[in-house]
Amino acid sequence: MDYSELVKSYKKLESTQSTLEKTEIISKLFINSPKEDLDTLAHLIRGKAFSEWKNLDLGIGKKLIIKAISKATGIKEEKVKKEWKNKGDLGDAVEVIVKNKKQQTLTTKKLTLSLVQENLEKIAGAEGSGSQSKKISLIAELIGSAEPEEAKYIVRTVLENLRIGVGEGLVRDAIVKAFFSELIGLSELDGYEITGQQVGIDKQLLGSISEYRLNKVKEKTELIEIDLSDDGISKLWKKEGADVFITDRKKEIEDRLKGIVQHAYDVSTDFGEVAEVASKKGVQGLREMDIELFRPIRVMLAQKSDSMEDAFEAVGSEEGLAALEYKYDGIRVQIHKEGSDVKIFTRRLEEITDQFPEIVNAIKDSIDEEEVIVEGELVGFDPQKGYLPFQKLSKRIKRKYNIREMIEKIPVTVYLFDLIYCNGNSLIRQNLRIRWSKLNSLINKIDNSVELASHLETSDLDKAQSFYQKALDENQEGIMLKNLSKRYKPGSRVGYMVKLKPVMETLDLAIIGAEWGEGRRRDWLGSYKLACMNKETGELKSIGKMATGFTDEQLEELTNKLEDMIIQEDGRSVKLKPKVIVEVAYEEIQESPKYESGYALRFPRLVAERETLGTGDVDTLDRIRELYGKQS
């Protein structure tokens, strides 16, 4: 498939804000594309080079892109920078430069989807001596083979700043529309014999049917009801004078299909694979997608509660019983073990195995089972000093060398709290009571290395409050409350698991812009522009600026990190790749037309950088609205 075909879709997507129109555009792209290109398309349509779990990073900043544009076009770097400053966007700048270039590229290749993907993979794989030059050459090859509009989207993709407003939800809905529109159509006025295809669809999508009650009807239209074991009543109407029935379940069937596609993505973290399976194997193929060892899944997330009473009510156990656990101030990890092979992943699916070799060895000693996937919290803990602050622990995530020295300086313990896979069997459909019991039985605790999370099962508010206070006394963040009868739902922020903390709720937000300082701070970036996530479109929406309360050391450290993430400049203001996520405290949320979210934070201040989080973990606009509504 020619890359130009994808560019046509990019242009259409960029020209509309309508969710329905975007879904239609993407679904048509999927339908009309060769099956072998679906994997690549499902990533590139979101501006992603790879599936999230593959742990590949292009590592391209503005400096390398400018050099690549110069090499591809023969335009001096200073002129590239000037055009960038003029346009404000490197993608727009390269479009103009390629359109006006005089240098003819001697060796151009036809710009196909497979060539783009191949070069992106080579860029991510380039390491060691000469890797920068190799990356520049690979990007230059794509730009040199591209038409002006193609070059624009190549540069935006490499910079991970596609700007067409396509998020996970749109890709999921487009897969449903592209490959299951016939199933949704069955619920319209066509009708099917009740003993034939329509019943099969209900069984496939909505659970097994426990009983049929079909009333004999003659000439008149009559309401017929079917009992479903999971889903209550399905309504069917008999068309007058015909032995066919019509269902009103179009929306329900469509929503269930979206849920099936979403679940497949949550356990595979790969929309490319999901699209391929949907096109080739249909609903049954998606249902068969499940957890695989050494492929991290999207973790289940908790909602937030303001009081112990609210937390118990939210968890919603019928018998009033809840499982309480410490909320440790550490890194949430997912640990995969197969025999002597162990890998550790963060909740953003990043592998950190090499940084924690002592935990790898401890897991081998602690767990006798051949195959397991466990979840826990990796916490800095020194037997002599007690729990270490997260800021200190985070240094170990970044460290790629002198690991032994870091083990001595910053010892860690992992506190395990869930078991989601064991010896070939996924446990996510099992309730927490079963999962916790199995975890408890298979862990051989190793003091100060591998332990079970502090855990209490109670319906007594006083006991729960005492447990909460004990957690705070031990310098933990707070506690978690969980419903013991509920299953594990990957990728979902569920209402039956909540966190309770004593301080005003903070927000995890992305830094999407900044301004160069003045005076003695002129060489540092400050006045950081913050953004929350519109989950439906996948777009980050600004919610304010964080400008005060920084030390010189913090400003210098953040500038060093952010400078190569600049993708657009306008005077002193810069736009940044949303790679840095920060925890932000604030006094109040206010309505504000000044920012894209419609809200602004009053007196936002930095709590901590959240190195283990990605843009998918940023607090959502829905969460902002919820918090705003709770303010008195």
User: Sign of the C-alpha dihedral, residues 185, 190, 194, 195?
Assistant: negative
Spatial distance between the Cα atoms of 140 and 151, rounded to a whole number of angstroms: 10
The answer to whether the annotation marks 325 as part of a ligand binding site is yes
347 is in an annotated binding site: yes
Are 143 and 551 in contact by the 8 Å Cβ rule? The answer is no
Nearest by Cα to 401 from 357, 370, 363: 357
Give the number of other CB atoms < 10 A from CB of residue 158: 27
How, if at all, do strands 412-422 and 450-452 pair? parallel
**Which of 287, 297, 260 has the alpha carbon at shortest distance from 53?**
297
Whole-angstrom distance, CA of residue 230 vs CA of residue 183: 20
Q: Which of 509, 473, 490, 479 is nearest to 589 (CA)?
A: 509
Is there a binding annotation on residue 489? no
Catalytic residue among 62, 71, 152, 327: 327
Q: What's the rounded Cα separation, in Å, for the pair 337 and 294? A: 8
Closest CA to 162 of 318, 11, 287, 369: 11
- The answer to whether the annotation marks 377 as part of a ligand binding site is yes
Q: How far is CA 630 from CA 61, 197, 470, 604, 625, in A?
A: 41, 48, 28, 18, 9
Q: Which of 201, 208, 213, 288 is nearest to 249 (CA)?
A: 201
Would the annotation count 332 as a binding residue?
Answer: yes
**Catalytic site includes residue 239:** no
Contacts of 454 (CB under 8 A, 6+ apart): 325, 326, 415, 467, 471
Signed CA dihedral, 194, 196, 199, 205: sign only: negative
Please state the residue numbers annotated as binding site for ATP: 325, 332, 347, 377, 417, 493, 499
Catalytic positions, please? 327
Please state the residue numbers annotated as binding site: 325, 332, 347, 377, 417, 493, 499
